[in-house]
Amino acid sequence: MKTYLADSKGFYGQFGGTFIPDILKPCIDELQEKYLEILNDPEFQEEYYSLLKDYVGRPSPLYLSKHLSQKCGCKIYLKREDLNHTGAHKINNTIGQILLAKRLSKTKIIAETGAGQHGVATATVCALMGMDCHIYMGKLDVERQHVNVQRMEMLGATVHPATSGSMTLKDAVDEAIAAWAKNPSEIYYLIGSTVGPHPYPDMVSRLQSIISKEIKQQLEEKEGRDYPDYLIACIGGGSNASGTVYHFVDDLRANIIFAEAGGKGVETGETAASISAGKEGILHGFKTLVMYDENGEIKEPYSISAGLDYPGIGPLPAHLAAEKRALVLAINDDEALKAAFELTEKEGIIPALESAHALAVLDRVTFKPEDVVVVTLSGRGDKDINTYLAERKRFI
């Protein structure tokens, strides 16, 4: 049977794979060799699922939104990843990778972070497991996301401001990789999304696939059938999206729609829409769609949502888009803001700005009355309060 998931070399069609400097080869070889055995080990699974249940608070509810259902004229369910410990889906992945790092006898964890959400999720599991934690973050982001920096420090992590390039996420990744290459035997690099060389995209997809596993069970209970007509998720690097579709990707009854960050509009150039505006290239060790400027340099992405502004995209969403298995819509800042205010006012749920991009898809698509739609609410919006307060008067 045809599958849209990764082959044994980590390729999704032409995307993914391993494109790394020789110095990182030993670390990546070790991971490639061992990750499936560790992830499938019953003892690993017992520890992972038990932490997801009692520490993260899973399963996350599948909530039927009355307001959105009425508005769209069909059933709209929200998969409530916002209710997880630390406020987003990212913890599903960090719990899994910290258990894996322990089994590889690593003592030091490094991670990159943009807005700080992955940094907080990593610092959290490092505190839980007593691991030495080092977070690389662009110097500009350190200044912009001060509260998350304080949370990481309170959790015991050391935050290293990246001062190269534009001093944002891409530079934080570059500096984390450089630190890793200096001491590969002790360090585990805990990547926060479905990006990087094989096996990271496949490994992170598997660790996030708990989302679609639960959706299947919850739809069976609520609807008497274990698939939806539509799955909708936002994509930054692609981890909540990959987790949302993982168990449905080869089931063509479930339509897939991804929302990438259009920013001020794809045509303005101020965008993070890597699928709409990107070209095939290599970024951070894998082949994907990358946004370049006119000089062929990697372009600084823009989105109102810090968690979506990455100049590339995970190989699974890139492949699903190329194969037309998924429809990808570039949702602009204002569409996301409108959707966020609507959910807040009508449902009493303040969504993360990232998740609001997925919600905005509902205004772009016409559904049939019998459709069952699941939108993944990847995180909560506490971190975005200042942006919301500044923009609110334009929307009410």
Residues forming contacts to ligand PLP in the complex (CB under 6 A) are 88, 90, 117, 193, 234-241, 307-308, 352, 354-355, 378-379
Q: What is the number of the residue whose Cβ is closest to ligand PLP? A: 379
Q: Shortest gap between Cβ of 19 and ligand PLP (angstroms)?
A: 20
CB–CB of 263/301 below 8 Å?
A: yes
Q: Shortest gap between Cβ of 313 and ligand PLP (angstroms)?
A: 8
Nearer to ligand PLP, 74 or 273 (CB): 273
Return all residues near 68 (Cβ < 8 A) that are at least 6 apart.
76, 78, 343, 346, 347, 359, 362, 375
Nearer to ligand PLP, 74 or 313 (CB): 313
Q: Say how far apart CA 173 and CA 342 lie, in whole Å.
A: 35
Nearer to ligand PLP, 266 or 308 (CB): 308
- Residue 19 corresponds to which tokens in the numbers above? 């494109």
354 in catalytic set: no
* Count of other CB atoms within 10 angstroms of residue 153: 13
Q: Shortest gap between Cβ of 176 and ligand PLP (angstroms)?
A: 16
Q: Shortest gap between Cβ of 201 and ligand PLP (angstroms)?
A: 10
To which residue do tokens 């739609």 refer?
Answer: 373
Task: Write the DSSP assignment of 166-202 as a string of letters.
Answer: TSSHHHHHHHHHHHHHHSTTTEEE---SS-SSTTHHH
List 373's β-bridge partners, or say none: 76, 230
112 in catalytic set: yes
**Which of these is catalytic: 90, 106, 299, 338?**
90
65 in catalytic set: no
Nearer to ligand PLP, 34 or 85 (CB): 85
Q: Shortest gap between Cβ of 308 and ligand PLP (angstroms)?
A: 6
Cis peptide before 351 (omega within 30 of 0): no
CB–CB of 286/196 below 8 Å?
A: yes
Q: Say how far apart CA 180 and CA 110 lie, in whole Å.
A: 8
Nearer to ligand PLP, 74 or 321 (CB): 321
Q: Which of 379, 92, 344 is nearest to 233 (CA)?
A: 379
**Which of these is catalytic: 112, 175, 342, 391?**
112
Catalytic residue set = 90, 112, 378
